């Protein structure tokens, strides 16, 4: 697609928006780099130099005639997991590679996809089902599963209300695990027939960064060593915060 040179800064900005949206939805680094490379060339760039790590995106477009444009985006929002958004963003990128949209139209499409959050009933239902299922899987009984499902609602509320107040994911995981653990410990003291460990296992599964850790290993295997190491360390810190939160709750509640 032949573009007026004046339109490339706007296109580059929208490519940055797309890359950040893909990162926020849980896409792996290699996928983001490949997508941005293909899109830049589809819009008329002669060469694309894209570097993506978990905390930054750097894109340099080499335009016809040799002019170069570079933008850098600092990524502060920790990557989540939203396969619906990821699928929609992938579909949009494929559409743009085949029939490139104007920069404004592309921006509207990205904002529309990012504005479509996970439906609240589905979010709660999935969390409740996950917590109850894992509690049963790890040896809990039906009553343990029911209590785990009740505390899954608390975890969902904390994810909605507490996340914006925390400076990073480590602090959120620590506080969420502490509050959930204290609640489970209090319930076990009131009803001694409950198995607190099985209930905690079911609820901690809602916060375990399993996908991020898996993506970190994949990044390292495909050669994105820096991104893989950063994501792995980040995932381990998130998991350690969860462990310390539940340990502190057990200690405070008296075992």
Write the pLDDT tens digit of every residue in 18-40. Answer: 999 998 888 888 889 999 999 99
Q: Please state the domain count of the chain.
A: 2
What SS3 string covers the chain? CCCCHHHHHHHHHHHHHHHHHHHHHCCCHHHHHHHHHHHHHHCCCCEEEEEEECCEEEEEEECCCCCEEEEEEECCCCCCCCHHHHHHHHHHHHHHHHCCCCHHHHHHHHHHHHCCCCCHHHHHHHHHHHHHHHHHHCCCCHHHHHHHHHHHHHHHHHHHHCHHHCCCHHHHHHHHHHHHHHHHHHHHHHCCCCCHHHHHHHHHCCCCCHHHHHHHHHHHHCCCHHHHHHHHHHHHHHHHHHHHHHHHHHHHHCC
Q: Does residue 166 carry a pLDDT above 70?
A: yes
- Boundary (domain end) residue, out of 114, 139, 174: 114
- Are residues 127 and 247 located together in one domain of the fold? yes
Q: Does residue 94 carry a pLDDT above 70?
A: yes
pLDDT at 88: 92
pLDDT at 19: 92
Q: What is the pLDDT averaged over residues 34-49?
A: 92
- Are residues 152 and 101 located together in one domain of the fold? no
- Are residues 96 and 50 located together in one domain of the fold? yes
- Boundary (domain end) residue, out of 58, 90, 114: 114
Q: What is the pLDDT averaged over residues 122-146?
A: 93
pLDDT at 175: 95
Percent of the chain with pLDDT over 70: 96
- Are residues 181 and 245 located together in one domain of the fold? yes
Q: What integer best gives the mean pLDDT of the chain?
A: 89
Q: Does residue 1 carry a pLDDT above 60?
A: no
- Are residues 130 and 241 located together in one domain of the fold? yes
- Boundary (domain end) residue, out of 114, 143, 173: 114
- Are residues 62 and 81 located together in one domain of the fold? yes
Query: In which band, very low, low, confident or very high, does the pLDDT at 76 lie, cut at 50, 70 and 90?
Result: confident
Query: In which band, very low, low, confident or very high, does the pLDDT at 204 lie, cut at 50, 70 and 90?
Result: very high
Q: What is the pLDDT averaged over residues 178-192?
A: 93
- Are residues 54 and 9 located together in one domain of the fold? yes
- Are residues 241 and 129 located together in one domain of the fold? yes
- Are residues 76 and 125 located together in one domain of the fold? no
Query: Which residue segment(s) compose the domain that 28 sits in?
Result: 5-114
- Are residues 186 and 129 located together in one domain of the fold? yes
Give the model confidence (pLDDT) of 103-115 as tens digits. Answer: 899 999 999 998 8
Q: What is the pLDDT averaged over residues 53-67?
A: 88
- Are residues 102 and 202 located together in one domain of the fold? no
- Are residues 75 and 127 located together in one domain of the fold? no
Query: In which band, very low, low, confident or very high, does the pLDDT at 91 lie, cut at 50, 70 and 90?
Result: very high
Q: Does residue 224 carry a pLDDT above 60?
A: yes
């Amino acid at each position: 697609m032949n573009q007026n040179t004046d339109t490339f800064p706007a296109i580059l900005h929208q490519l940055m928006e797309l890359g950040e949206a893909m990162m926020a939805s849980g896409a792996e680094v290699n996928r983001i780099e490949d997508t941005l490379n293909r899109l830049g060339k589809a819009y008329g760039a002669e060469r694309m130099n894209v570097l993506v790590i978990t905390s930054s995106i750097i894109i340099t477009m080499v335009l016809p005639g040799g002019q170069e444009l570079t933008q850098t985006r600092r990524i502060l929002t920790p990557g989540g997991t939203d396969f619906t958004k990821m699928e929609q963003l992938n579909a949009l990128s494929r559409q743009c590679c085949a029939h490139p949209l104007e920069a404004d139209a592309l921006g509207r499409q990205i904002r529309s996809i990012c504005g479509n959050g996970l439906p609240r009933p589905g979010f709660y239902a999935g969390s409740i089902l996950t917590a109850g299922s894992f509690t049963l899987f790890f040896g809990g009984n039906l009553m343990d599963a029911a209590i785990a499902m009740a505390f899954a609602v608390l975890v969902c509320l904390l994810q909605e209300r507490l996340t914006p107040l925390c400076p990073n994911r480590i602090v959120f995981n620590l506080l969420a695990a502490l509050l959930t653990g204290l609640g489970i410990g209090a319930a076990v003291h009131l009803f001694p027939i409950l198995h607190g460990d099985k209930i905690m296992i079911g609820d901690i599964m809602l916060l375990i960064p399993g996908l991020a850790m898996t993506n970190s290993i994949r990044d390292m295997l495909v050669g994105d060593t820096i991104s893989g190491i950063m994501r792995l360390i980040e995932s381990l810190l998130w998991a350690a915060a969860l462990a310390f939160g539940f340990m502190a709750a057990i200690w405070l509640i008296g075992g």
